[in-house]
């Protein structure tokens, strides 16, 4: 048991040392700022290369990902029907679907599903 504890302490110390060295060695210099600036064939950029990001698009994309994961969780429920108790299956499925509907209703009330504000 003592050997496992000493190995864990050694691994912890080594990881802290590596993180500190990486933090010290990765400091940016003034020359690095020029490298990270936009490059347009050797000329100074005419306008900012940072375009504003549409927050509505981001919200719709996140909601799509959430519902995509929900579909992936709902599909096995149908397969499990043959192997489980019908009452437990019905209760679990209904609770899951009610939670999803409450989340959808909340997003709808908050206006997250409207494309234009």
Question: Would you say 110 and 56 are in contact if contact means Cβ atoms under 8 Å apart?
Answer: no
Grouping H, G, I as helix, E, B as strand and the rest as coil, residue 114 is coil
Grouping H, G, I as helix, E, B as strand and the rest as coil, residue 59 is helix
Alpha carbon 22 to its chain's center: 25
Specify the pLDDT at position 117.
Answer: 54
Cα–Cα distance measured from residue 2 to residue 96, given in angstroms and rounded to the nearest whole number: 46
Cα–Cα distance measured from residue 3 to residue 61, given in angstroms and rounded to the nearest whole number: 49
Mean pLDDT of 63-86: 86
What confidence tier does 23 reach under pLDDT thresholds 50, 70, 90? confident
Note if the pTM is more than 0.75: no
Q: What is the overall mean pLDDT for the chain?
A: 81
Beta partners for residue 37, in sequence order? none
Grouping H, G, I as helix, E, B as strand and the rest as coil, residue 106 is helix
Q: Say yes or no to pLDDT of 7 above 70.
A: yes
């Amino acid at each position: 048991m003592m050997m496992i504890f000493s190995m864990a302490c050694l691994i912890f110390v080594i990881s802290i040392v590596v993180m500190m060295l990486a933090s010290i060695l990765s400091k940016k210099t003034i020359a690095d700022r020029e490298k990270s600036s936009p490059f347009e064939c050797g000329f100074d950029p005419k306008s900012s290369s940072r375009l504003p990001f549409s927050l509505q698009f981001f919200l719709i994309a996140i909601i799509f990902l959430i519902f995509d994961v929900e579909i992936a969780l709902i599909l096995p429920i149908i397969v499990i029907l043959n192997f489980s108790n019908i009452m437990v299956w019905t209760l679990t499925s209904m609770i899951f679907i009610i939670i999803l509907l409450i989340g959808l209703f909340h997003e709808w009330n908050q206006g997250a599903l409207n494309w234009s504000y």
